[in-house]
Amino acid sequence: MTTRDFTVLTDVSMITCIIQRGKADAIVQAAQDAGAHGATIYYGYGSGVRERLGLLGLAVDVEKEIITILVADDQVDRIFERMYFAAELDLPGAGIIYLTKLEKAATYIPREIIEKVGRAP
């Protein structure tokens, strides 16, 4: 009978970035340049954002791209900051980025890598 391994990661966070459609590729590239290994991009439709943003008078597009990236906690600050600036979130109406600490995550990790990090079951 074959034994199946189950490795739980507890030092992982998820960065979620919601931005205007068409900007995701540049943001993911910035995250990867900072050390992220991959990303998931999906599309959304904003609700209640057709109004103008107060006195600024900026129209906000309702079509959004949502990027989620799982990163190790020791890399999260660097990747978060790079994504923030790549998305130009310091400008009004550009989007939002937030961080969620994950209690646990699991995926396939080759035994050689587990042994290198000292987490062999």
CA–CA gap between residue 84 and residue 99 (Å, rounded): 12
- The more confident residue out of 40 and 9 is 40
How many separate domains does the chain show?
Answer: 1
The model's pTM is: 0.80
CA–CA gap between residue 59 and residue 32 (Å, rounded): 30
Average pLDDT over residues 72-89: 97
Q: Which residue has the tokens 């587990």?
A: 114
Specify whether the CB–CB gap between 45 and 64 falls below 8 A. yes
Range of the domain at 61: 8-117
40-54, 64-78, 96-110: segment of lowest average pLDDT: 40-54
**CATH number where 104 lies:** 3.30.70.120
3 part of a folded domain: no
2 part of a folded domain: no
pLDDT computed for residue 49 by the predictor: 46
What are the start-end ranges of the E strands in 2-46? Answer: 8-9, 12-20, 40-45
CA–CA gap between residue 28 and residue 37 (Å, rounded): 10
Cα angle 97, 50, 96; round to 5: 5
60 part of a folded domain: yes
CA–CA gap between residue 93 and residue 2 (Å, rounded): 53
Find the DSSP H helices in 2-118. Answer: 24-33, 76-86, 111-117
26 part of a folded domain: yes
pLDDT tens-digit profile of 13-53?
A: 999 999 989 999 999 999 999 999 999 999 998 765 455 55
- The more confident residue out of 115 and 80 is 80
pLDDT computed for residue 83 by the predictor: 98
Q: Which two tokens stand for residue 69?
A: 């990236």
